[in-house]
Chain A
Amino acid sequence: MITVEGLSKRFGNTVAIDDLHFSVQPGRVTGFLGPNGSGKSTTLRCMVDLDHPQSGNVTFSGKHYRQIEDPIRTIGVLLDASYVHPGRSARHHLEYLAVSNHLDRQRVNEVLALVGLTDVAHRRVKTFSLGMKQRLGLAATMLGDPEVIILDEPANGLDPEGIRWMRDMLQYLAGQGRAVLVSSHQLSEMALMAEDLVVIGRGRLIAHESAADFIARHTTTRIRVRSPQIGVIVRAVQERGGDASMLSETADTDGALVTGMSMIDVGELAHGNKAVVHELLEVTDSLEDAFLAVTREDQEYRSGSSS
């Protein structure tokens, strides 16, 4: 388990993280979400003792990173897939890491196979695509078969298929009981990957809850219904205390957006009123819009309170 307590880090006058508290549980993927520049990478660097915070603590089952012997056997971290010497082969990159932490070189073959890079392992990294480097980075984090996996924006540079691969891999690893912390600036990506969310904006914690709860709280689900008798349906919805607004777009059939009722209720209402239904659909706000709204609120609140 990872525990972050009161972590603060400034670079000169820039406050990168401000009194951050959260914890990461084993056995699940925790998404670390925030817009660009919100302090995710800085937090992760502080976790593994690369950056020195002005105050606060990060512990892994009670231990500081620097107290852990051969740390890559306990904590696998991928900060940036481009942190490889372009002139070195993928295999040699993994080998020097393995050797430094007393790992068997056979592990290098295993992790290469795990991420599907066996055939290109002898090639110099400068010939790799960003997606291949992300796979190499994941291989490096898996070298020590760690209990904790920390990844900074691992989906960057991956195509949709690569993102699905990454998601399946992370969920598989979490399923084995590991704690997985993965950062992203895209809620939609996190919605697919993570069960828990730690959301930050401008270095401060905004939310720490399950992904489902966060999405439910910050998005509204509406029911879109199209019918030749749309007026009947709208009236029935309003009588039941729901809210309905007509759709102004041009379509073959008139439609309305209903809030405050489930799709089943709307369908049954239509049936009860003998209205023909051409379309009945749940529509959810784009997750990005919701996320932007949340982080914007937070930023406005803070700039308002500080002046």
Chain B
Amino acid sequence: MKAIIASEWLKARTVRSHWVLLIIAMMFPLIISTLVGIFNPDPQFVSYREVVSIVASSGAFSLLLLSSLWVINLTSEFTHGTIRVTYAAVPARWKVIVAKAVIGTLVTAVVMSVLFWLNFGLGAALLNSRGATIIVDGWFDHSFKVFVALVTFAIIVSWFGLGLGVLIKNSPVAIVVVLLWPLIIESLIALAFALSGYESAWKWMPYQTAFQEIDGPSGVDSALSRPWGHLYFAAFVIVVGIIGVVVDRRRDA
């Protein structure tokens, strides 16, 4: 398994388009906080929570792009036929998918962590230089909770990208599903339930339940508190992944 993980890591880092997506995913939040830092008209009134809020919501954009990266990492193998080369070298197909999930987890964790604090530091420094007084006080304060929630959530979404990728195989379709899932697909499902009389279905949609309002209070709009929401979403994603792996094993590569 170590060899397969090493092989997948080599694959992931030797394609330029992966780096392009990664850089876009990192640039966007940095640009947002730079703009806020420079152009906010009243820096002295910007609160610490507001900075965290900007960092978290721009991070939510990055994690969607990152999950597209994991979709492409997998679906491009089907597009270019390299999946056949890979599966001929590693006939236990699930190991390849799990190795990709391990790489996805590590890269997402590192990228989202660096991004969060870099972004927070950048925004705070720019605002502080213009008269704001923003500091981090204590490990377990608000910003740290938001940080943990964001990184955990990003990791689960990266698995979601892989699960949908292995199930769907086709890059554009899988990316569209990943991107539209939180925006449209869950809303439509919830609406369908609501029309059938299950008004509270919205609170049980997996993505929404885990995301909630990522820097807001936990368990308000959703049926579960945030940690349980993460577990619930992770369980859903793992089921999608297992279905994907089983389907992939049975079909012709």
Contact = CB atoms under 8 A, between A and B. Distances in A.
B107 to A, nearest CB: 16
B252 A51 contact: yes
A96 B252 contact: no
B85 interface: yes
Given A100-B7, A101-B3, A88 B15 contact: yes
Contacts of A50: 84, 87-88, 252-253
Contact of A87 (B17, B77, B90): B17
B91 interface: yes
A97 B3 contact: no
A48 B10 CA distance: 24
Contacts of B253: 45, 50-51
Looking at chain B's contact residues, the main secondary structure is helix
Question: A51, A77, A87: which has the most chain B beta carbons within 10 Å?
Answer: A87
A97 to B, nearest CB: 6
Contact of A99 (B7, B92, B250): B7
A101 B85 CA distance: 12
Interface stretch (A64-72, A113-121, A221-229, A292-300): A64-72
A45 B252 CA distance: 9
Contact of B84 (A83, A96, A99, A101): A83
Contacts of B77: 85
B47 to A, nearest CB: 45
Contacts of B84: 45, 50, 79-80, 83
A304 to B, nearest CB: 32
Contact of B10 (A49, A79, A92, A140): A92
Contacts of B82: 83-85
Interface in B62-80: 76-77, 80
Nearest to B252: A51
A83 B80 contact: yes
B89 interface: yes
A284 interface: no
A140 B82 CA distance: 12
B81 interface: yes
B14 interface: yes
A71 B91 contact: yes
B14 A88 contact: yes
Contacts of B15: 85, 87-88
B118 to A, nearest CB: 28
A18 interface: no
Contact of A100 (B81, B90, B251): B90
B88 A102 contact: no
A111 to B, nearest CB: 14
Nearest to A150: B88
A86 interface: yes
A52 interface: yes
Contacts of A92: 10-11, 14
Nearest to A89: B14
Contact of A85 (B3, B80, B87): B80
A93 B84 CA distance: 13
A82 B76 CA distance: 13
Nearest to A48: B88
A186 B90 CA distance: 32
Given A71-B89, A77-B88, A96 B80 contact: no
A147 to B, nearest CB: 16
B252 A101 contact: no
A14 B155 CA distance: 43
Contact of A86 (B4, B11, B80): B80
Given A100-B90, A101-B89, A83 B81 contact: yes
7 contacts: A48-B88, A48-B91, A50-B88, A71-B91, A85-B15, A85-B80, A86-B80
The 10 closest A-B pairs by CB, nearest first: A83-B81, A100-B7, A92-B14, A51-B252, A50-B253, A66-B91, A99-B7, A96-B10, A96-B7, A87-B15
